[in-house]
Amino acid sequence: MKLACVREIAALAKEAGAQILLYPHTNDWLERIEDAVRVADKVDRPNVGVMFNLCHWLRVSKDRDYRSRLTKAMPRLWAVSLNGADEFDDQPGWAHYIQPLGRGSFDMKAFLKTLQELGFTGPIGLQCFGIPGDAHDHLAESMKAWRNYSK
């Protein structure tokens, strides 16, 4: 049923010249990047791709082997969403998994290097959901961190 729905949406999107991006989300039917890739492969439409979302991956992944998951996703990986994050957090909520870029114990430089090595050239977005405080300050901090990573 869900595959048929995605195929129908993909057909409508194709008519409009649009693409569909499957977004893995904690506690959803597409919870893991592996789920999104499996569904995209089964749907088998050229305008259906997947997104890697760092905070949701950190929440649901028991290990931290993003390289193998990104490698498998590459043919359909069209976008990445990232943010500063701690590598592990066993508490509910997002305070440790969604921080301004540049904060947290997660090795963002290694992650970005992996994307580069795999040949990823798609857009990279900034996840800011629920970060308390001034949004302008967080954005400025994240932009500074991005410039440092880009060097």
Element (H, E) at 21: strand 20-22
The answer to whether 11 and 20 have CB atoms below 8 angstroms apart is no
Sign of CA dihedral 87, 91, 92, 95: negative
In order of their start, the domains of the chain are 2-150 (3.20.20.150)
- Beta bridge partner(s), residue 63: none
pLDDT, tens digit, 9 for 90 and up, residues 40-64? 999 999 999 999 999 999 999 989 9
**pTM for this entry:** 0.94
pLDDT, tens digit, 9 for 90 and up, residues 96-147? 999 999 999 999 999 999 999 999 999 999 999 999 999 999 999 999 999 9
